[in-house]
Amino acid sequence: MTADLLENVPDVRASEEVIADGAVLLRGFAKTIEIELLEALRAILEQAPFRHMTTPGGHQMSVAMTNCGNFGWVTDRTGYRYDPCDPQSGKPWPPMPGSFRELARAAADRAGFGGFAPDACLLNCYQPGARMSLHQDRDENDFTAPIVSVSLGLPATFLFGGLKRSDKPRRFRLEHGDVIVWGGPARLVFHGVAPLAAGEHSLLGHQRINLTFRKAR
């Protein structure tokens, strides 16, 4: 992979969709490097497998999760936090692959957020019926960096609301390879994922994988 991922990605400017002030949907942005991303994903899962974490309220999440990078997001009875080590193994999270990092930087740059340097990547695995309730990403120290979210596998309905939980979210269908970037005035927007519909993807089977890049520290 070259240092400049944009050289390997087709010109997707015509498929850019501004969905809010500070939020851009890049259709198919990651699709041309899907094989490289999936190979890197398999290596991560060998070291830090997916697991269903428990919320502070004692509920098991329907989405299975793991992490890579300098920090990983975890939740348990004690609360939400970023931790440099996997609590399941006690070891540092797997390093963030270069393909992941360059994709996140390229997408952020295309969306107008130059210089993005993620130090955490949350990996979420959705099986049919799994969902993510509306929430804000507030556990990071610096809200000036954007969030970059990459969809792989089955299509999903992404819910993008407002700065209040009561704001009615809009619904966007995300396909394999789509990337959403949000920051600036949209950084603390409530967002989530509707229950995943059953289906089969040619590369990932009956699941959706989401890569969410953040600057945690």
Nearest to 209 by CA among 134, 135, 124: 124
Q: Which residues does 184 contact at the CB level (< 8 Å), separation at least 6?
A: 21, 22, 113, 146
Instruction: State which H helix or E strand residue 105 sits in.
Output: helix 98-110
Is the pLDDT confidence value at 9 over 60? no
Residue 26: name the closest of 158, 214, 164 by CA: 158
Find residue 181's DSSP bridge partners.
Answer: 24, 148
Residue-wise pLDDT for 21-39, tens only, equals: 999 999 999 999 999 999 9
pLDDT band at 7; cut points 50, 70, 90: low
Q: What 3-state class would DSSP assign to 60?
A: strand
- Nearest partner of 161 among 129, 135, 194, 180, judged by Cα: 135
Q: How confident is the model at residue 13, as a pLDDT?
A: 46
Question: CATH number, domain at 43?
Answer: 2.60.120.590
Q: In what order do the strands lie in the sheet with 23-26?
A: 16-20, 23-26, 179-182, 147-153, 208-214, 120-126, 64-69
Domain that holds residue 80: 5-214
Q: What's residue 12's pLDDT?
A: 46
List, for residues 41-90, the tens digit of each pLDDT value: 999 999 999 999 999 999 999 999 999 999 999 999 999 999 999 999 99
For 121-169, write each residue's pLDDT tens digit: 999 999 999 999 999 999 999 899 999 999 999 999 999 999 999 999 9
* pTM of the complete model: 0.93
- Euclidean distance between CA atoms 62 and 143, whole angstroms: 27
Q: Which two tokens stand for residue 198?
A: 């059953």
Total of domains in the chain: 1
- The band of 2, judged by pLDDT with boundaries at 50, 70 and 90, is very low
Q: Is 147 exposed, middle or buried (CB count within 10 Å of its CB: 0-12, 13-18, 19+)?
A: buried
